[in-house]
Chain A
């Protein structure tokens, strides 16, 4: 494992922890930005310059969109866990990924990719499962996609550029969704508007006859 890989992996892990654990939404979005910019560098060998630049630009764009949404998040929309606990979870995930070297998990990518992927996965799963805040949920989903991409890199080695392009498109689509919806209705099930839109009958919270 080269120092560059380790540093990039650590930035990814810390970025994921800040994105999921910071109380201030703008700081969380900066953590997300760091994660998305550093993630393409966690590969051995590094992708070609153009795909690498595409990954970085897609990460910056996604981070910017989330930052735009973060400015509209009201005060008090706290993360699921505090920052210390989230950093602890990320560190545990990182250590587990590095520890996989000891059990000789068959793979073709670098240890740092697995470590960074597991760190991101560890901090993203909780908010995805329990959060009612759309901004936090969207951020967690972006972290989850980055984690999946890193784990895939760890298992299969440096991925073809087309996979990176497709991942970039998905990340930007998720971030744009957060930017579009995050300001209008931050809290799931909140009071951001009437339940019936102009183009739909009032949707019942639970259909009277829907016996589930």
Chain B
């Protein structure tokens, strides 16, 4: 029941910010307020009494709360970074609409409703982000997203119909879903279903050879809408599918050796080639896009494992994945705004002008790679070990560090000799607006005010009025002068959020392993 206020707030917020999208300042304020309120509503989601609707249930979980909080907090920070550079009117609606859809998808009991919810979330967020203004590149990207989401959900529905993951209703992906699974399935049917779901997962995350989607999305989407479209919505799809797979196909896993090997091969190719692709990109947005592609390999490995332990590890890992990618996208927004270019060959030595961005990127690197004992490291290793062994494990391990190597390359470019663009860029030191010379020498200003005016100024309302005048006079010039340091500060906050996620703050590990709420006895899916 605690999920309902969040859904209400997020949907209303989507409507309001979409209506105010053409009002620059009012839209900005409404967007930030709506996301903050939605964030507050997401923070109180908990596994309490489910809401019974339509023979099913809508219920919150600890994992869903953490996911929504990280999604909205990261999305809000990226929105602020982007707003300090330019106004992207379509992004707040996409963030809120996407978050509402994720809440619906992961709160609905059962795999088919969850898949339909994830598809609806993808459609809504894509339409809000790309539908207006209707530039050709955006419409093409929107068409790709609609095609992908719809075909994915149809494949998922058919697969879920052949191999239902649960007999009763369970919230997707929770440990409760491991209860009563189906009996051993017909091997051919199980193989087809596994390959179909792998195809869906590969497409949603952009695994090779279906990787073009992510890169083109990065080209066409407003940068502050990219986290929800390229990271959080695929994460929601992943949670649903990875929650279904061990229950539906786990008993048949012994007969699926060939198919699982095929998925592992695709995953290894994705990990290695994705890392190579990220290393050879020149645009920072494409570097981030290909790190998303590379990490699709880890998701595929989690699917190939067909193991509840890998599922739980993947539930924690997707949070780290999506938060770190959100931070990287925020970093690219600040980088492009600081130098007016995202091309690495034009921005060598960028760290001289943007040391705070460099520190933030180093923190993101730590969050992405981690170290032994850290949640990010342990869950990634658990996924790799559950699906591979021997040389394949070594390859997977090497490939999984590709994102870190790509970030190292960005840092190495940053410590080179500053290019002309970098040399001409504004630094990150805060500045104050200079007082006009005339104000100090103005004879009328130096005149002593009348006694009544002095009394008015010395009173509290008078002081507040004076303060308001000063703020009105100085705030805007100060903001204009300090956009670069403000952006850097917010990116540091994003990097901090990524680091906190990587170390397992917010109870991520426990939330990933927690059973879902006790659902009422629901009408079982016929054929379960």
Contacts and interface: CB of A to CB of B under 8 A. Distances in A.
B154 A148 contact: yes
Interface residues of B, number: 71
B55 A162 contact: yes
B123 A170 contact: yes
A197 B527 CA distance: 49
Given A160-B56, A165-B54, A170-B120, A152 B157 contact: yes
B54 A162 contact: yes
A155 B53 contact: no
B343 A174 contact: no
A141 B152 CA distance: 11
A199 B87 contact: yes
A114 B143 CA distance: 28
B283 A160 contact: no
Contacts of B8: none
A190 B154 contact: no
Given A156-B525, A162-B54, A162-B55, A210 B137 contact: no
A81 interface: no
Interface in A6-55: 51
Contacts of B117: 166, 169
B88 A192 contact: no
Contacts of A189: 136, 139-140
Given A144-B150, A199-B89, A212-B215, A173 B124 contact: yes
Contact of A144 (B104, B151, B282): B151
A156 B523 CA distance: 13
Nearest to B164: A156
A157 interface: yes
A137 B162 contact: no
A195 B110 CA distance: 41
Contacts of A163: 56, 110, 112-113, 116, 525
Interface string B416-453: 00000000000000000000000000000000000000
Given A151-B157, A174-B146, A192 B136 contact: yes
B119 A51 contact: no
A167 B56 CA distance: 14
Contact of B147 (A51, A141, A191, A198): A141
A103 interface: no
Nearest to A165: B54
Nearest to B126: A177
Contact of B134 (A148, A159, A193): A193
Nearest to B105: A166
Contact of B219 (A157, A176, A207): A207
B161 A156 contact: yes
A155 B161 contact: yes
Nearest to B147: A128
A148 B280 contact: no
A180 interface: yes
| Nearest 3 Cβ contacts at the A-B interface | A162-B56, A157-B526, A161-B54
Interface of A: 51, 107-109, 128, 134, 137-138, 141, 144-145, 147-149, 151-152, 154-167, 169-170, 173-174, 176-177, 180-181, 184-185, 188-201, 203-205, 207-212
Given A173-B124, A207-B286, A209-B283, 18 more contacts: A51-B54, A147-B154, A148-B157, A159-B112, A160-B523, A162-B169, A166-B113, A169-B116, A174-B123, A176-B127, A181-B131, A181-B142, A184-B134, A188-B136, A192-B136, A197-B135, A198-B133, A209-B282
7 contacts: A51-B55, A156-B164, A160-B113, A162-B55, A174-B123, A192-B136, A203-B219
